Structure 1
Amino acid sequence: MTPELTVLALAILLQAAQFAAYSIRANLDVGPGYAMSARDRDPSRPLSDLGGRLQRALTNHFEGLTLFAPAALLVAVSGQSTPFTAACAWVYLVARVLYVPAYAFGWRPGRSLIWFAGFLATISMVISTLI
């Protein structure tokens, strides 16, 4: 397996961990009754600030994966894995790991800089396959 695909697998596991962290926080915030309901109405208790931030960080990672997954597949399928593309993949993953506490604890401007590092690494992988 290429390093880029290894990072993709780890990014998927990170997504699962983020989902678990958000789910636990959300259940504590809104209560298990609402969490297990059909959610036809708004919860009687809102998400805490931390719960909302974990939810937004999770959503952001879904969005990031929609670019990173095809980038990793493009590199792997085209046989263009290089030390540069592997480094880009690892930068993406490290950025995504750091992004969770950065978002959860409101690090400014760190959160945006961390996000940009992951985005730039992803786009750099794609561009490298075209050169």
Structure 2
Amino acid sequence: MTADLWALAAAMLLAVVQLTLSSVLTLRQLGGAWVAGPRDEPREVTGLSGRFVRAHRNLLEIFPQFLAALFLVHAAHAAGSLSAIGAWVFVIGRVLYVPAYAFAPPGVRPICWTIAQVGIFMIVADLFV
């Protein structure tokens, strides 16, 4: 398996870890009855728990771009060193994003998001090299 596909596997693992953490924190804050119920009344987790939930949602928003970029370079048989490095840059940016969202001062989270986005641009750049 290529390095960029290993990065995809790592990103998927990150998504699972974030989902698990978000679910546990939501359960602790909102209670089992609401979590297991129909959720007719929308409720949001707040504080630190809310930050972890929103960090996971943000990953879900950007993950399709990452996946599409990898698909594109592989479908075009253009995967190379840029896509491998870019995929790992994405993963590292997303791993750093989680604690940055939860604990870092303002301004750090957007830097981590930008790192991940640069990783996606690097993947796509392999199409033009």
Q: TM-score surpassing 0.5?
A: yes
Say yes or no: does 1:31 pair with 2:45.
no
- Alignment of structure 1 residues 52-131 onto 2, 5 Å: 52-131=50-129
Count, aligned residues: 129
**CA displacement 1:39-67 (0-9 Å, x = unmatched):** 11144xx5231121111111110111110
Q: Percent of aligned pairs with the same residue?
A: 32
How many angstroms apart in 1 are the aligned matches of 2:83 and 2:91?
Answer: 13
Asked whether the 8 Å contact 1:5–1:76 carries over to 2, the reply is: no
| SS of residue paired to 1:9 | helix
Aligned to 1:5: 5
Of 47, 50, 54, the match for 2:48: 50
Structure 1, unaligned runs of 5 or more: none
The TM-score, its normalising length taken from structure 1, stands at 0.90
**Greater displacement, 20-29 / 71-80:** 71-80
Whether the 8 Å CA contact 1:4–1:75 is kept in 2: the answer is no
Contact 1:7–1:93 (Cα < 8 Å) also in 2:
yes
TM-score, normalising length from structure 2?
Answer: 0.91
Where in structure 2 are there 5+ consecutive unaligned residues? none
Q: Distance in 2 between matches of 1:95 and 1:110?
A: 11
SS in 2 for 1:100: helix
Q: Cα distance, 1:106 vs. partner? A: 4.0
Distance 1:117 1:35 in 2: 34
Shift in Å, 1:108: 2.2
Contact 1:53/1:103 (8 A) holds in 2:
yes
2:21 corresponding residue in structure 1: 21
